[in-house]
Amino acid sequence: MQIDKNLVAASATPLVLAILTEGESYGYAILKRVRELSGGELEWTDGMLYPLLHRLRRLGYVTTEWRTPPEGRRRRYYAITDDGRVALAEQRRQWMTVTRALGDVWRGPGGLMPALGEA
Amino acid sequence: MDPVEAQIAEWRAYVAKAPAVGDRDVDELEAHLRDQIAELDAMDLTADEAFLVAVKRMGDLDSLSREFAREHSGRLWKQLVLRDGDDAEPVRRSGGWLEVLVPAVGAAVAVQVARLAAGFPDQEPGWLLRNAGLLVLPFLAGYLARRRRLDTRGWLVTAAPFVLAALVVNLYPFRPGGATEVLVGLHLPVVLWLAVAHPYMGGTLRSHERRMDFVRFTGEWIIYYVLIALGGSVLLLLTGAILDPIGVDVELVAEWVVPSGAAGAVIVSAWLVESKQHVVENMAPVLTLLFTPLFAVMLSVAAVAYLVSGAAFDRELLGVFDALLVVVLGLVLYATSARDPSRPAGLMDGVRLLTVASALVLDVLVLGSMVARIGDLGFTPNRAAALGLNLVLLVNLGWTAWLSLRFLTGRVPFHRVERWQTAYLPVFAGWAAAVVVVLPPVFGFE
């Protein structure tokens, strides 16, 4: 399944912020987590993550630091800030509304919308 | 070298060429690439294959560098190709000399016509002073509006403030040589300059990033204007030295050339900023680096001296301080616009905070003696205008100082400081407009 690119773009910010609430991380690991969470359906080109991370940093949603873990490569780690959590909560409310509305309409007035499933 | 290492190095060099991608960003992307290669290696791909797959996954470099450019528009704001929403829609390419010559000559001619009509310099009618900005800045606005390819609505919105200003300054019954007339002469150019922001930003007044671009534009415009003025004076001096011996009246030449030159240079400077940006761009950080510490020292010494000595401010000194505070504000704004927002807090941010804090102290002192003067002597147009200006500055400096402090202690990102300044710009415009429109009738055009 190819997910529409507008949908990918719209979900990118909440997804990244939500992943960072699990703990600080770096670009490559964030992308792996995105693939894992979406069962490989959400495919971002790797490079596109970085401009997004920089935007989140400019907005003050994440902080960043270069670090070299004991047995690893020097990487730029990102951590979510309080502002980021606030923004995520807001995004979450919006997404909940959208998914609830879609959920209701998928089910349709008489229960299920059977025709759609096989379409 | 290992062939894959060589390939990575080549890839790196290629990525680094994109103007909006900084060194550290390339480091980050390279770390990512290496992670990817390592994982693919573990899946039994050959090193070569792993490299190719990793590069492919990174996405095509053109769109990557475009994304970076979109995010870091400050790094290449000069290109101004980055509009929200749609893809690169370049502004009109520089149309060469003609593009600037027509409005520049237009402004120069307008000034001469007005000058002749007014009989300047034998007489100095107030309407010439009041209309000075209106003779020049519409040409600048028109130049920018054309460059940004504004639609009809955009042109109308651009024209509106100029038309309104022309009506106000020419229909109000000013008393010749009165205080309100002088105040209008001082404040109208500020209002009109901010009106130029609309065509400059291509109609995107709400965008804070574009507002910051306009601040940069203003700073660089001043630099070019000063350079042109310096060159012009040298030229004029030499011309005088050459023409004087053969009996040509130099004064007369200067009288004709200087007003037109000053008017034309307004547009020429803007054109230079638009087309030669990378030249000044390298100068801006140097200038702020040079002058911010000097102003910090000067202002902090002054603040301490005036605090300790409790010296009284007379009318003249108050005027000087107002001018000083405006200059400081300009410097702070420009330094803010020249700063790379992604850099962490550093020494210069501390120096800037010192500048702002000292200016704040001085502003409070000035306000104190101004309020005392008004209490003793009552309101006059000048005092009302100065009081308002100082209050507007006080709010800006106070909040800037607070935000800068929080930025220095790592509580807020620099973005907040920037955002505050761009959000405050309409307040300046509003205050200057109020002085032009509201103050004269309130004081009976005295």
pLDDT tens digits, B180-239: 888 898 899 999 999 999 999 887 888 887 888 888 889 889 989 999 999 999 998 898
Confidence of residue B360 (pLDDT cuts 50, 70, 90): very high
Residue A114 has pLDDT above 60, yes or no: no
Instruction: Decide which of A43 and B234 is more confident.
Output: B234
B73 touches A: beta carbon within 8 Å: no
- The nearest CA of chain B is from the CA of A99 a distance in Å of 24
pLDDT of residue A119: 47
Q: Whole-structure pTM over 0.95, yes or no? A: no
Place of tokens 């103050």: B439
Residue from A5, A13, A16, A46 whose CB has the most chain B CBs within 10 Å, to mutate: A46
Chain B residues whose CB is inside 8 A of the A75 CB are 28, 31
Cα–Cα distance for residue pair B110/B106, rounded to 1 Å: 6
A35 touches B: beta carbon within 8 Å: no
Q: Mean pLDDT check: name the lowest of A27-36, B228-237, B337-346, B417-426.
A: B337-346
Instruction: Decide which of B288 and B166 is more confident.
Output: B166
User: Helix B61-71 vs helix A49-58: angle between axes, to the nearest 10 degrees?
Assistant: 10
Across the interface, which of A58, A60, A66 has its CB nearest the CB of B412? A60
* pLDDT tens-digit series, residues A58-107: 888 998 888 887 777 788 999 998 889 999 999 999 999 999 999 888 88
Q: What angle do CA B405, B387, B288 make, to 5 degrees?
A: 40
Residue from B71, B82, B414 whose CB has the most chain A CBs within 10 Å, to mutate: B71
Q: Mean pLDDT check: name the lowest of A100-114, B52-66, B308-322, B324-338.
A: A100-114
Residue B66 has pLDDT above 80, yes or no: no
Helix (H, G, I), strand (E, B) or coil at B437: helix
Q: Which residue of B has its CA nearest to A26?
A: B32
Residue B71 has pLDDT above 60, yes or no: yes
pLDDT of residue B192: 94
CA A3, distance to chain mean position in Å, is 14
Residue type present at position B237: L
- The nearest CA of chain B is from the CA of A103 a distance in Å of 29
Residue B77 has pLDDT above 80, yes or no: no
- Expressed in percent and rounded to 5, the helix, strand and coil fractions of chain A are 60, 10, 30
The set of residues, in sequence order, having a beta carbon less than 8 Å from that of B51 and lying 6+ positions away, is B4, B7, B8, B37
Cα–Cα distance for residue pair B135/B414, rounded to 1 Å: 39
Residue B186, H or E segment: helix B179-200
CB B318 within 8 A of CB B372: no
pLDDT of residue B90: 42
In 3D space, the residue among B414, B37, B218, B391 whose CA is nearest the CA of residue A73 turns out to be B37
Cα–Cα distance for residue pair B342/A60, rounded to 1 Å: 10
pLDDT of residue B85: 36
**Mean pLDDT estimate for chain B:** 84
- In b/e form, how buried is each residue of B103-113, taking b as 16+ CB within 10 angstroms? bbebbbebbbe
B57 touches A: beta carbon within 8 Å: yes
Across the interface, which of B64, B70, B72 has its CB nearest the CB of A47? B64
Q: Which residue of B has its CA nearest to A51?
A: B68
pLDDT of residue B73: 59
Rg (CA), chain B: 26
CB B243 within 8 A of CB B253: yes
pLDDT of residue B193: 93
Across the interface, which of B25, B58, B415 has its CB nearest the CB of A45? B58
Contact: B71, A58; criterion CB under 8 Å: yes
Cα–Cα distance for residue pair A106/A84, rounded to 1 Å: 32
% residues pLDDT > 70 (chain B):
91
Chain B residues whose CB is inside 8 A of the A73 CB are 31, 34-35
A5 touches B: beta carbon within 8 Å: no
Residue A67, H or E segment: strand A62-67
User: Helix B381-408 vs helix B315-338: angle between axes, to the nearest 10 degrees?
Assistant: 40
Confidence of residue B119 (pLDDT cuts 50, 70, 90): confident
In 3D space, the residue among B289, B442, B302 whose CA is nearest the CA of residue B358 turns out to be B302
pLDDT of residue B140: 94
Residue B280 has pLDDT above 70, yes or no: no
Contact: A54, B34; criterion CB under 8 Å: no
Cα–Cα distance for residue pair B45/B50, rounded to 1 Å: 6
A78 touches B: beta carbon within 8 Å: no
Provide ipTM, 2 decimals. 0.77
Contact: A58, B67; criterion CB under 8 Å: no
Confidence of residue B44 (pLDDT cuts 50, 70, 90): confident
pLDDT of residue A18: 94
Size of interface A-B (CB pairs under 8 A): 72
Q: Mean pLDDT check: name the lowest of A39-43, A102-106, B112-116, B431-435.
A: A39-43
Strand order in the sheet with A25-26: A25-26, A75-80, A62-67
Confidence of residue B74 (pLDDT cuts 50, 70, 90): low
Confidence of residue B81 (pLDDT cuts 50, 70, 90): very low
Cα–Cα distance for residue pair B331/B396, rounded to 1 Å: 13
DSSP B288-357: HHHHHHHHHHHHHHHHHHHHHH-PPP-HHHHHHHHHHHHHHHHHHHHHHHHS-TTSPP-HHHHHHHHHHH
- The nearest CA of chain B is from the CA of A55 a distance in Å of 6
pLDDT of residue B279: 64
pLDDT of residue B83: 37
Confidence of residue A116 (pLDDT cuts 50, 70, 90): low
Rg (CA), chain A: 17
- The nearest CA of chain B is from the CA of A35 a distance in Å of 13
Q: Mean pLDDT check: name the lowest of B121-135, B202-216, B367-381.
A: B121-135
Residue type present at position B244: D
